[in-house]
Structure 1
Amino acid sequence: MINWFTGLDPVFQALLATLFTWFVTALGSALVFVFKTINKKVLNGMLGFAAGVMIAASFWSLLEPSIEMAEQSGTPAWLPAVVGFLAGGAFLWTVDKVIPHLHIGTPTDKAEGVKTGWQRSVLLVLAITLHNIPEGLAVGVAFGAIAANLPSASLAGAIALALGIGLQNFPEGAAVSIPLRREGLSRTKSFLYGQASGIVEPIAGVIGAIAVIGMKSILPYALSFAAGAMIYVVVEELIPESQLERKSDIATIGAMIGFAVMMFLDVALG
């Protein structure tokens, strides 16, 4: 099975990997057929877990390879990491200000982005969709990096990243669909909206892979760009949302576990 996957084009590998992460999002969304509500502590733990995975992935799977690639090419090691990281954060900041979206548990009049008359359910889905852009991009860039034949880019590392993103997508899918059910949508609509939030990952993944294959010189910058975008999501949204409750131990423990799981996957497999 691995040999078959190894022989595929990196762009196709990126597509398959991000289709997997989208599929796991759909599995998480399918929990809406079992549960109508979700305990707030459980939701906070899920958000914390997702934050931990994304923080670990940002360093082990993205920033560290970016620094290594810069060193191998003779570029100052810090340059691509710093420039790309800040550019990724700036990109997400811009998108955050433009695309209308609404965070879970927030009144409709507190929606962010440009003002619109879109339904509350659509705004809730768009908030999670924004999370998935850097996740899909990160996986795509990781697989695209394999085509550069650099020692710091490996198929095992890219697969580990896809597995980690997939793991945190399961609770993320549930964190979309179950609140939508509580908002009054049918189970089917809640599921469809929930899984739809992950569709952007294959799109971003393919774009990321094609970009770095076509312009190998930008690869270290692309890796750190994806890291910066993910850290922006963690600091701007995941951690604050998971810490709204007075007792935030569950969210903190979830973040620690998520970080440890992603670190294990990357170090053990990568």
Structure 2
Amino acid sequence: MLDQIITYLESIDPILAAFYATLFTWGLTALGASLVFFFKSMNRALFDGMLGFTGGVMVAASFWSLLNPAIEMSKGEGFVKVIPAVVGFFFGALFLFGLDKVLPHLHVNFKEAEGVKTPWHKTTLLVLAITMHNIPEGLAVGVLFGGVAAGFDGATIGGAVALAIGIGLQNFPEGFAVAMPLRRQGVSRFKSFWYGQLSAVVEPIAAVLGAWAVLSFQPILPYALAFAAGAMIFVVVEEVIPETQQDKYTDIATMGFILGFIIMMSMDVGLG
């Protein structure tokens, strides 16, 4: 079945393929958010483990699916060959740094909001925090599908599908991470679910823009791949990992990270 999916995505317009792939990742976010219909509270150890898993997937995807192909497809030798990856990675991290300082948001395990001061409700701030995660994730999928269509060495349809699957897997706990805290604050089950899935609506948009940009300006592909990687690593270090260190389940979060990394690495190498 997976071979059929890969063949189908390879046969259609790459922008449409990126859109379909991120509809899948969005759907898994919604699936995670739907747990509020079945549970009244969340187990903190499980929650921290899931967040760690998310971080592991993102770090593995950043190297195996993004940085490594970016370096492989760059021209030159030695330090010259790594310049596009260095430049893209730096500006990707810088972009998320700026977004983190400007966009009002509230992390799940923290009490103080970040970004510009605003009277926005806590619900909105929680959704925006996870939305920040999803911008580089959607961009990464779109850029990789665009690279495959452009025929760049190092960009494969299997790798693009593996990336989408990995991001979808780590989106599941992200949907849960938004919906369940809202439920604990007294928000209805449906509204908690709605806001949880809404946090990933940006992924198909970012994917379409990423695929279009690469197809329109092909020389930017290695820079774009590294840009997405830099943005994802910034999210992991600045947000995901600190969120897992606020309670006594740090070892569980660490093992979740290791598991997520292994799964994402295995999928990328196996499918790519």
**TM-score if structure 1 supplies the norm length?**
0.96
Specify the alignment match of 2:215 in structure 1. Answer: 213
Q: Distance in 2 between matches of 1:22 and 1:257?
A: 22
Preserved CA contact (<8 Å) 2:49 2:256 = yes
Preserved CA contact (<8 Å) 2:110 2:243 = no
Q: Distance in 2 between matches of 1:134 and 1:18?
A: 12
Specify the alignment match of 1:159 in structure 2. Answer: 161
Residue 237 of structure 1 and its aligned partner are, at CA, apart by 0.4
Specify the alignment match of 2:139 in structure 1. Answer: 137
Q: Distance in 2 between matches of 1:248 and 1:74?
A: 39
1:114 aligns with 2:116: yes
The number of residues matched between the two structures is 268
1:54 aligns with 2:58: yes
Q: Distance in 2 between matches of 1:247 and 1:124?
A: 22
* Candidates 91, 94, 100, aligned match of 1:96: 100
Specify the alignment match of 1:79 in structure 2. Answer: 83
Q: What SS does structure 1 have at the residue aligned with 2:150?
A: coil
**Cα offsets for 1:167-194 (capped at 9, x unmatched):** 1011111111011100110000000000
Specify the alignment match of 1:150 in structure 2. Answer: 152
* Candidates 220, 228, 231, aligned match of 1:229: 231
1:6 aligns with 2:10: yes
Residue 75 of structure 1 and its aligned partner are, at CA, apart by 9.0
Runs of 5+ consecutive residues of structure 1 not aligned to the other structure: none
Q: Decide which moves more: 134-143 or 71-80.
A: 71-80
Q: Distance in 1 between matches of 2:185 and 2:210?
A: 35
**TM-score if structure 2 supplies the norm length?**
0.96
Change in 2 beyond 3 A, CA 1:140/1:213 = same
Preserved CA contact (<8 Å) 2:138 2:204 = yes
* Candidates 241, 249, 252, aligned match of 2:243: 241
**Cα offsets for 1:18-73 (capped at 9, x unmatched):** 11100000000000001121111111101100000000000000000000010379
Q: Distance in 2 between matches of 1:49 and 1:217?
A: 33
Q: What SS does structure 1 have at the residue aligned with 2:40?
A: coil
**Cα offsets for 1:114-139 (capped at 9, x unmatched):** 11111111101110010100110111
1:105 aligns with 2:109: yes
1:36 aligns with 2:40: yes
State the one-letter code of the partner of 1:98: V
* Candidates 245, 250, 257, aligned match of 1:255: 257
* Candidates 130, 155, 175, aligned match of 1:128: 130
Runs of 5+ consecutive residues of structure 2 not aligned to the other structure: none
Change in 2 beyond 3 A, CA 1:175/1:111 = same
Change in 2 beyond 3 A, CA 1:72/1:141 = farther
Q: Distance in 1 between matches of 2:200 and 2:156?
A: 25
Q: Distance in 2 between matches of 1:14 and 1:77?
A: 27
* Candidates 65, 70, 78, aligned match of 2:69: 65
Q: Distance in 2 between matches of 1:138 and 1:70?
A: 17
Q: Distance in 2 between matches of 1:73 and 1:213?
A: 25
